[in-house]
Each structure stands twice: as C-alpha cells, then as structure tokens.
Amino acid sequence: MTLQDIKQRFGIIGHSPLLERALDVARQVAPTDLSVIINGESGTGKEVFPQIIHQFSARKHGQYIAVNCGAIPEGTIDSELFGHEKGSFTGAHEARKGYFEVADGGTIFLDEVGELPLPTQARLLRILETGEYIRVGSSKVQKTNVRVVAATNINFNLAIEKGKFREDLFYRLNTVPINLPPLRERKDDIYMLFRKFASDFATKYRMPAIKLDHEAEQALVNYYWPGNIRQLKNITEQISIIEKERDINLNSLLLYLPNYDTNKLPALSGSGFQRGSGSSDMNERDLLYKVLFEMKKELNDLKKVVHTIVHGGNVNLSSISADDITNNDTLYNNENNFPSVSNANDVTIHNPIVVKDNANGFNQPIVVEESLSLQDKEIDMIKKALKKHKGKRKYASQELGISERTLYRKINEYNIVE
C-alpha cells in the first residue's frame, strides 16, 4: 500500500517530507513484532500511528487497546494494566482482567508512557522481555503475547537523568523510534489542514466555510502553533462558529492567535529559553547561547582592531586595555540612522566606537557597520563545526551542543552545502 493510500485511509493530511518519513517507517515496521516509541509534541497526531502499525501487522485481527497512562491514578494503574484478584484490595469485589490479558495476540498502545510510576515500569519491562506478568494480589505467573507501541512528549534523557524513567525500559521500548514533526515544521501543510477543518465544520454546523485573505493566510502559516494540529483545529472551529463574516481578514484572525507578536522569538525565563506558550527546546537554547557568546567575542575583537587602525601602528591586540575603548550611543540620533533596522532577522547597527586619544585630548568616533543577524551567526557556526569535523554531523552536533536531528534540520533550512 502506498503512502497516499495510508493517508486516505487514516485521514492524514499533508505532504511534509518529515511526515512522510514517519509514515514510511510505520509502514515498514508494522509487519514485525518490534516495540515502537512515537515521539512528538502534544497535538501532533501520535494516536494515529499505532493504529497504522496494528492494521498493517499480522495482529490486525486481534485486539487493539489504547491506554492513556497519564489519565489513570497511580494507585490503580497496575490493576488496570495487569488485572487483579478478588479481595486483593478494598473494593476488589471480583477478579478482573487487565489490558495486557485482554489484548493477548493483539496490540496495546501506551500513550504518555513517561507518566508511568517506577514500580509499574518494572512490571512493563518484564512483559517486554519475557511476556510474563502477575495480577495484583496473585502469585501466579501468567503469559501474554502483546505488541507494545508507546508514545510520549517528554524528554527521555532528562527523565532518565532525574530518575523518573528507567533507562533499561527506555532502550527496550525504543527498538524503533518514530519522530513526528511539530506543525511549525510543516508550514506547507498548515493552510491545507485549515481548509479541511473549515470544510468539516461548515458541514457539521450547516454554514458556509470560512476563508482567509492573503495576509491572514500568511499569519496562519507563520504562527508558532504550540498546540500543533489540535490547536489549529480548535481555532478553526472557534472562528467558524463565532465570526459572522465568512471572509476572515488579518485583524479578525489575530483575535484567535494568542501571543502572536512574540511567538517566533525565544524568551528568556528562569528555566531557560522558551518558545510561544512556554515549551522549551534545550537544543535551540544551547545554540543561541553559543551564537551570542561568539558575537560578543567578535565585537570585542573588532574594537581592538579599530583602536589599532586609529593609531596607525602594528599593536599587539592582547596588550590593548578594554578601558581605552568605550561606546558612545549618544553621538548619533535618529537623523543619523542609529540604529538602522530593516528586518527582524537582519539587524544592521551603525555603532560608533569612540577611541580615547590621550595625545590630542579628544575622542575620535568611528562608525563601524556590522551585521548582528542570529541566522547568519548560526549558519557560520554550523559551517565551522562541519569543516572542523570534516562533514561528520555526529561530531559537529556534539561540538554545537545540539542533537543530530536539529543539525540536519538547520542544514536543510539554511541550504548549507557541506
């Protein structure tokens, strides 16, 4: 079956290469009995992929059970998953089968598996390794033959480091990882999804479908979407019901997009850099730190060079005192175009550097133009890291302090030729 057939069957919309890669991995792993972990932010559609894996496996005629581990209280999670005997605890008036017993011969989907308590994680590890489990309140070992597909939106490495998730269980579950891209990395699919949702709600509520003008469409595509597809669907439904006009302009759309003005930039908080509604990205934060430190270093070097040029001599840069170089931001006003900002991603600063000339008794300003674009700095650092490690992305990503996946995405985003 082709990817297009799978999309039509399961109602998946989009042509993003990252999405199609995830679908292709799911299709290939389905005939096996390997455990799968589906990684992705909340609202990216992780619940569809276990169904794809089940339907294209030899277990498709067996039971498929989806369990939200985060929604079950810690005190009853073992009973729900593994069953219990009569009288094993208060309220256990009769014996009960657990999900692993009911799904024998089929597939069980553990959503939010990172929320499982540690004792339950140990029981799950035993099932994955031997297929054995014990009901709560029993001493009899039972067997089950279940294929486990898990999903999470947590950072496993961080959870393992903090002792909240077992490392051995992670490696047992993570036989085949499937990574779902967030909606902001599927920009070409956003408006397509919006039109599908608008059409569905128009049919549901018996009204004409809403449409966006060009400016509103661009705002929709450029929004950060912290809630991903779920948020897009909810906003589309809100607009369909509340707005009387069917043609939606930019001003009307912005009423439904929270924090639109700040959604594209990282914000520094007590816990580090955050995006949009507060979801953190450690890799992006580390890279930004490196860029900012590099910019500061280059600016200091530039000041030393200017000092040398002004005095017209070959001066050892390491011998120049920082006290001899000062910034004077008051020498230039708006009439002198200071600062000059043409684009949010391309900031050019006409920064007057004032060098103290003790011999003549006056300060001599020199205007130096320098691009402080974060994007340019990122590209430059990525190129340097790749060159240093002879194109080996694994070591380049370690040098930059980011994951290989983030490095791969940025190479494609910036069209960097290695």
For the whole prediction, is pTM greater than 0.95?
Answer: no
Q: What was the pLDDT predicted at 345?
A: 46
Q: Which of 235, 262, 289 is the last residue of a domain?
A: 262
121 and 51 share one domain: yes
- What DSSP character marks residue 209? P
Residues 35 and 104 in one domain: yes
pLDDT at 272: 40
Q: Which pLDDT score, from 0 to 100, does residue 379 have?
A: 85
Do 103 and 170 reside in the same domain of the chain?
yes
Q: pLDDT confidence of 334, banded at 50, 70, 90?
A: very low
232 inside domain: yes
Q: How many domains is the chain partitioned into structurally?
A: 3
Cα(52)–Cα(140) distance, integer angstroms: 34
For residue range 372-411, list pLDDT tens digits in order: 567 777 888 888 888 888 888 888 888 887 877 788 788 8
Q: Is residue 390 part of a domain?
A: no
d(CA 218, CA 197): 17
Q: The domain that contains 232 carries what CATH number? A: 1.10.8.60
Beta bridge partners of 351: 368
CATH no. for residue 154? Answer: 3.40.50.300
Within a domain: 98: yes
More confident residue, 414 or 224: 224
Residue 307: the pLDDT is 67
For 98-129, write each residue's pLDDT tens digit.
Answer: 999 999 999 999 999 999 999 999 999 999 99
Q: Are residues 202 and 251 in the same domain?
A: yes
Same domain for 349 and 201? no
Containing domain of residue 80, as a range? 3-179
Query: What DSSP assignment string belongs to 233-256?
Result: HHHHHHHHHH-S-SEE-HHHHHTT
In a domain, 267, yes or no: no
> Which of the residue ranges 9-18, 177-186, 249-258, 263-272 would you say has the lowest mean pLDDT?
263-272
Percent of the chain predicted with pLDDT > 90:
58
Q: Please check the confidence at residue 27 and state whether its pLDDT lies above 90.
A: yes
Between 336 and 287, the higher pLDDT residue? 287
**Segment among 165-174, 226-235, 389-398 with least mean pLDDT:** 389-398
**What pLDDT was estimated at residue 165?**
95
> What integer pLDDT is reported at residue 274 of this predicted model?
42
> Which residue has better confidence, 276 or 233?
233
Q: How confident is the model at residue 314 (pLDDT cuts 50, 70, 90)?
A: low
**Same domain for 45 and 147?**
yes
In a domain, 280, yes or no: no
Is residue 31 included in any domain, yes or no? yes
Q: With bands split at pLDDT 50, 70 and 90, how would you rate the model's confidence at 289? A: low
Does 251 lie in the same domain as 155? no
| Cα dihedral 400, 402, 403, 404 sign | negative
DSSP string of 352-401?
EEEEEETTTTEEEEEEEEEE--HHHHHHHHHHHHHHHTTT-HHHHHHHHT
pLDDT tens-place string over residues 158-168: 999 999 999 99
Long-range (24+ apart) CB contacts under 8 A made by 166-171 are 166/118, 166/121, 166/122, 166/125, 168/125, 169/121, 169/122, 169/124, 169/125, 169/128
DSSP 181: P
What confidence score (pLDDT) does residue 338 get? 40
